[in-house]
Amino acid sequence: MDFIAKDNRYEQMAYRRCGNSGINLPLLSVGLWHNFGEVDDFETGREIIRYAFNEGVTHFDLANNYGPPPGSAETNFGKILKKDLKPYRDELIISTKAGYLMWPGPYGDHGSRKYLLASLDQSLDRMNLDYVDIFYSHRFDPLTPLEETMGALAQAVRSGKALYAGISNYPAAETMQAARILSEMGTPCLIHQVKYSLFQRGAEEGLAAVLREKMIGCIAFSPLAQGLLTDRYLDGIPTDSRAGKSHGFLKTDQITPEVKEVVIKLNKIAGTHGLSLAELALNWVKSHDFITSVLIGVSSKKQLQTNLKILGLPNFSQEQINEINSCLIETT
């Protein structure tokens, strides 16, 4: 049966302006880092994407190496686009990235112009697209001149294969330099994608100030610390959870007694606010003024429905944020 999007799909979603640009991003965006690879159920992923779009989620985030195996998330997303979302392409913000190991040999990793532009061509081919809306340098490469890496992003934009340039996982100082270089090339940095959650607050130590100063948008990934900030691990490790999967990035040894103790405390605080732990964690992220969008990864429509509930929540006050922060620790 052909997919027909709901007429009222934009009524509930909130949108925030992304940096100094004309682009508005949904408050919640969907990432395909997990659950959309060849090892995952295609129809489940398709159901998630369709439901998300019907709820006003216009931004879908990928990278060349998402899977597993690497590349398969883009391939599957391309199939979903063709089957369901092709008529709505102009309503979508699709992003991809390059920066981590993708193919063997000296040219399939890091930040060279050759790698980034070759990877972008491969990503477009896998998704059957003429362009992506955002192309990221996935990580800072200290062995490649920043001018070369940013030059590749600018070239991607000038060629029409990407509309905007972004960076991900860059430290504050290098973000400042990258923004300057891109601006001088006439391709401003639209957005920075950073790991940010109750367990990962490094962005507050300099990066947030740079983003505010340079008027760069920010999208937070792993806001639930790959599931740690949910009720999934309160009573053990489910076999179908990320920590329970052999190919997952969350490992059982990361769920230490100290981490579990903090999770239990946070769950109690969430209860006092009438929230689930996941709702508390997501709302904490979106309550920070440098955040444009919160990037969520879900394995089912039910999880997505639960996460979308935060759209109706007011931002936490500074007093509430301080209360939550009082019991936090940093994790890897």
Distance in angstroms (rounded) separating the CA atoms of residues 276 and 263:
12
- Grouping H, G, I as helix, E, B as strand and the rest as coil, residue 105 is coil
Neighbours of 146 (CB within 10 A): 20
**Residue-by-residue DSSP string for 12-26:** S--EEE-SSSS-EEE
Which tokens is 130 given? 């003429």
Strand, helix or coil at 281? helix
Cis peptide bond prior to 69, omega within 30° of 0: yes
Burial class (CB in 10 A: 0-12, 13-18, 19+), 205: exposed
Cα 85 to chain centroid, rounded:
20
Per-residue pLDDT, 231 = 87
10-residue block means of pLDDT along the chain (332 residues)?
94 97 98 97 98 98 98 98 98 98 98 98 98 98 98 98 98 98 98 97 97 98 94 66 52 77 94 96 98 97 96 96 88 57
Stated pTM of the model: 0.93
Please name the amino acid found at residue 314.
Answer: P
Return the amino acid letter for 311.
L
CA separation, residue 222 to residues 117, 174, 281, 296, 301 (Å): 27, 22, 11, 7, 18
194 with 168: CB under 8 angstroms?
Answer: yes
The residue extents of the domains of the chain are 15-325
> Distance of alpha carbon 152 from its chain centroid, rounded?
22
Report the CATH architecture of 15-325: Alpha-Beta Barrel (3.20)
As a whole number of Å, the end-to-end CA separation of the chain is: 44
Q: How far is CA 276 from CA 82, 230, 268, 307, in A?
A: 36, 8, 9, 10
* Residue 234 pLDDT: 75
d(CA 24, CA 7): 19
